[in-house]
Structure 1
């Protein structure tokens, strides 16, 4: 039990001290986790759990949509993609369609991997700038 509390404290601390880029990465990872769990639930005919996990993934997509900076051009391109993924999650939930979940999982995974590369490049640039000062 004490180990659980320590892990919970670690998780809370990592969220509280994460940069906005790292928080976005955490959102993508959470979305992937919930979609994969929904796929497993669907395979096991656990429709209540599937519904819950798809709704969690939808909530994350909504959060990603809300945090887009509309003054940045890429945000205007991302919004329709997020809207599509959100819609497809709803469709997968209603139709119990694993192939739709797989499609959305592919998109979210690609976004996550791209975002991870952005974070790495940004850190490398900051480190390089710091070394030259």
Structure 2
């Protein structure tokens, strides 16, 4: 029964992703990234280096996805600024990993949380 429920949940999640408007997809990416950053900082504080690195890599993969999907033709200066912010986040996360400093992860989380809120407003206006 648990397997059936798990499969149903996964199917629902996949359908939500496939049918979501673009702005909502961006919000979903931010949500995932923020969740992985929280988990990475927590694991780092607990001394679980492997878990911290795994979650940080997942967050970095999402930041990379946000970067490559920027539309510089339509987004112009905003896209360029976002690219700079994402590059800053990646550098800051590399420093966090090298120094084992969870506060650097939290700084990235705060910055991305603000961007997530802005995208949530945009996504709300798409409905």
TM-score range, shorter chain: over 0.9
Q: Unaligned regions of 5+ residues in structure 2, if any?
A: none
- 2:80 aligned to which of 76, 83, 93: 76
What is the DSSP-based 3-state SS (H/G/I as helix, E as strand, rest coil) of the residue aligned with 2:47? coil
> Offset of 1:42 from its aligned partner?
0.8
Matched, 1:121 2:108: no
Q: Give 3-state SS (helix, strand or coil) of 2:72's partner.
A: coil
- Which residue number in structure 2 is paired with residue 9 of structure 1? 11
For residue 67 of structure 2, what is the aligned residue in structure 1?
65
Preserved contact between residue 93 and residue 105 of structure 2 (Cα < 8 Å): yes
Corresponding residue to 1:100 among 95, 104, 118: 104
Root mean square deviation, CA, Å? 0.9
**CA distances 1:60-109 after superposition (whole Å, capped 9, x unpaired):** 11100000011122101111111000111111111110110110000110
Q: How far apart are the structure 1 equivalents of 2:54 and 2:66?
A: 19
Give, in angstroms, the shift of residue 117 of structure 1: 0.7
Count of residues paired in the alignment: 123
Distance in 2, matches of 1:77 and 1:89, equals 18
Q: TM-score, normalised by structure 2?
A: 0.93
Runs (4 or more) in structure 1 with deviation over 6 Å come to: none
